[in-house]
């Protein structure tokens, strides 16, 4: 394993924004770095695990991760925490209280906003947390700034005694740039300060802290007016001036190189006086920001006349053509056609799907066979894809851990026509430990009529197979106690005879158990026990193949949804009844097949056979 700290100061390396943040955290002398995996922030902590002189830990969820980082910062060591935008919703309880008390050593919270929803259930603008929690927000625009701004964030944190939010976006997190690295510098040593009036959040203490918080915010605002993180780029055309932040500022600079630009790297508290001075130097101001009109509305509230979302879209990334068109519109010039107005190219649809041999295929196939008899409450993870074809076996999904709680509500309030339908909740192992325990306890406590499918693939699968307390390994690959999910479910109160551990590749048992349990009252839990096929824990079997002479084209195997099975030809045949039926003759791509055998279980004519066996038979025939 390569030690990234070996690169000497002054070296220029090709880094993504996530890698640059990790380097900056190490250079800043951080003692503890925590996170919960979530695209687009995952690689920050994975990279930090390669560095010496600090401890990196996956938290069981974002709240726990932030609380651990807060503890380290109060103890006197610099601390860092990373998560994606929706993770702040989970961590906000700790965040909103600690902002009052402040910190001892530096604490930086990196929040990665998924602008454009490449892998998220919403497009949340995390800059609002800065306003809500009265915290400074710093916005790098590329990987080099990600490194420099992260280091500055620790300095600001300790200068003002406050946590600092580092707002990243998908573009900054994943695009690579040449970055000049520095060296690790150990910060001033600090010890824990015993001060209950500050650290114990009783109402009487918190009341005293609120005025101090407002004073700190005033000082931060004055700091922002002169901060080197805010940069002004001159321009010859002063008919328009642009105020922007983050990667949108780079697009604005490219779209209108002759237009003056005030780029805000320190965007909260907003440097109002500096923006006023900038606005007075141009005829009109355009605010370019992703995604909400936050800066725009604050400037309007301060009495400044600005344009923003009246000429720019409110969702998605702001590309160069979009900004160029907005500038032209404000100037009264012909608008330049943007990609938003161009016809989308005609491409064959490629919806996301589960992997070949995925242990989730069998549960969703079984649910599809019970489709008219159940309502399925889903959760966040690879298995969310069960909502798609060919299974169509997930009816709702809101946020992590919600499947169990929402299933409890569904079981109580079923409407006309749904009275006889059973409620099924689907959740994965990592998600269950992240936020599902309380939901399970709630089902048991309220004696709900819900069948729970706990799909244990021993990884945080959707974000790349990271470790969690149910895998038996930590971030460094070291062995740790592995949570016994079956035992945990029983400890939460599910009766022993209503808890089942099943090999999901044993399709008949999977289907029979699911069918039987949905017919019974009370809470039952079915735990699957095969690892993710993309992890080293998975042991592939022999690949399968299709015996063309036996294949009848029934298409039953296609209902499993395995992408290793592909249709080679379709035929229409007239049945004895006079009806026309389309037959689908298939093949199995042996390079992708993991040999799980689920497709063979549904093949009536037994046309799906082990590839090795078919080859051996062919060799015997040739020999004869």
Annotated binding site for [4Fe-4S] cluster: 551, 554, 557, 562, 593, 596, 599, 603
Question: How many Å apart are CA 501 and CA 456, to the nearest integer?
Answer: 10
Q: What 3-state DSSP class applies to 601?
A: helix
Q: Which of 299, 307, 321, 304 is nearest to 240 (CA)?
A: 307
How many helices, marked H, and strands, marked E, lie in the chain?
A: 21, 23
Q: Identify whether the C-beta of residue 603 lies closer than 8 Å to the C-beta of residue 556.
A: yes
The residues, any chain, with a CB within 8 Å of residue 186's CB and separated by 6 or more, are: 29
Q: How many CB atoms lie within 10 A of CB 166?
A: 27
How far is Cα 102 from Cα 74, in angstroms, rounded to an integer?
Answer: 9
Cis before residue 40, ω within 30 degrees of 0?
yes
What is the Cα gyration radius of the chain? 28
Three-class SS string for 285-302?
Answer: EEEECCCCCHHHHHHHHC
- For β-strands 565-574 and 580-588, DSSP reports them as antiparallel
How deeply is 44 buried, as exposed, middle or buried, from its count of CB atoms within 10 A (0-12, 13-18, 19+)?
Answer: buried
Give CA–CA dist 349/144, Å, rounded: 36
Binding annotation: 551, 554, 557, 562, 593, 596, 599, 603
């Amino acid at each position: 394993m390569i030690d990234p700290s070996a690169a000497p100061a002054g070296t220029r390396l090709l880094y993504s924004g996530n890698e640059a943040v990790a380097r900056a955290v190490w250079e800043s002398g951080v003692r503890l770095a925590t996170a919960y995996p979530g695209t687009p922030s995952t690689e920050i902590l994975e990279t930090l695990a390669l560095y010496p002189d600090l401890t990196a830990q996956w938290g069981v969820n974002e709240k726990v991760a932030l609380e651990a980082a807060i503890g380290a910062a109060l103890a006197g060591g610099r601390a860092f925490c990373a998560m994606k935008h929706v993770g702040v919703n989970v961590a906000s309880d700790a965040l909103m209280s600690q902002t009052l008390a402040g910190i001892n050593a530096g604490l930086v919270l990196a929040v990665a906003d998924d602008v454009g929803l490449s892998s998220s259930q919403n497009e949340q603008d995390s800059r609002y947390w800065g306003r809500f929690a009265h915290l400074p927000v710093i916005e790098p625009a590329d990987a080099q700034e990600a490194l420099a701004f992260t280091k500055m964030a620790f300095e600001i944190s300790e200068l003002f005694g406050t946590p600092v939010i580092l707002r990243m976006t998908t573009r900054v997190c994943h695009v690579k740039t040449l970055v000049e690295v520095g060296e690790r510098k150990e910060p001033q040593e600090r010890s824990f300060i015993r001060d209950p009036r500050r650290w114990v959040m009783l109402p009487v203490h918190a009341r005293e802290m609120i005025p101090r918080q407002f004073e700190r915010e005033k000082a931060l605002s004055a700091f922002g007016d002169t901060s080197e993180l805010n940069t002004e780029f001159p321009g010859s055309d002063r008919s328009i001036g642009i105020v922007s932040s983050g990667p949108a500022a780079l697009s604005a600079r490219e779209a209108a190189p002759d237009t003056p630009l005030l780029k805000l790297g320190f965007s909260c508290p907003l440097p109002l006086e500096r923006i006023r001075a900038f606005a007075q130097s141009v005829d009109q101001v355009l605010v370019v920001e992703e995604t909400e009109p936050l800066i725009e509305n604050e400037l309007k509230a301060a009495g400044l006349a600005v344009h923003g979302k009246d000429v720019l879209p409110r969702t998605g990334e702001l590309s160069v053509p979009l900004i160029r068109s907005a500038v032209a519109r404000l100037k009264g010039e012909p608008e330049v056609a943007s990609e938003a107005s161009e016809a989308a190219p005609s491409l064959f649809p490629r919806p996301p799907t589960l992997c070949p041999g995925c242990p989730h295929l069998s549960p969703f196939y079984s649910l599809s066979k019970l489709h008219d008899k159940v309502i399925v409450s889903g959760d966040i993870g690879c298995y969310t894809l069960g909502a798609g074809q060919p299974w169509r076996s997930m009816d709702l999904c809101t946020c992590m851990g919600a499947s169990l709680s929402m299933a409890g509500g569904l079981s109580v309030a079923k409407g006309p026509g749904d009275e006889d339908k059973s409620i099924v909740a689907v959740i994965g192992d990592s998600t269950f430990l992240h936020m599902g325990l309380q939901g399970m306890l709630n089902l048991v406590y309220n004696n709900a009529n819900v069948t729970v499918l706990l799909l244990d693939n021993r990884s945080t699968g959707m974000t790349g197979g990271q470790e969690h307390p149910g895998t038996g390994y930590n971030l460094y690959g070291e062995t740790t106690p592995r949570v016994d999910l079956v035992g945990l479910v029983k400890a939460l109160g599910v009766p022993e005879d209503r808890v089942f551990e099943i090999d999901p590749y044993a399709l008949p048992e999977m289907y029979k158990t699911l069918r039987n349990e949905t017919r019974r009252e009370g809470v039952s839990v079915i735990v699957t026990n095969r690892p993710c096929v993309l992890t080293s824990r998975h042991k592939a079997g022999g690949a399968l193949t299709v015996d063309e002479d036996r294949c009848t084209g029934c298409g039953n195997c296609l209902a499993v949804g395995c992408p290793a099975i592909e249709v080679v030809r379709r035929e229409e045949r007239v049945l004895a009844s006079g009806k026309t039926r389309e037959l689908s003759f298939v093949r199995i791509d042996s390079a992708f097949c993991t040999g799980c055998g689920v497709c063979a279980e549904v093949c009536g004519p037994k046309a799906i056979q082990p590839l090795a066996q078919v080859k051996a038979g062919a060799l015997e025939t040739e020999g004869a």
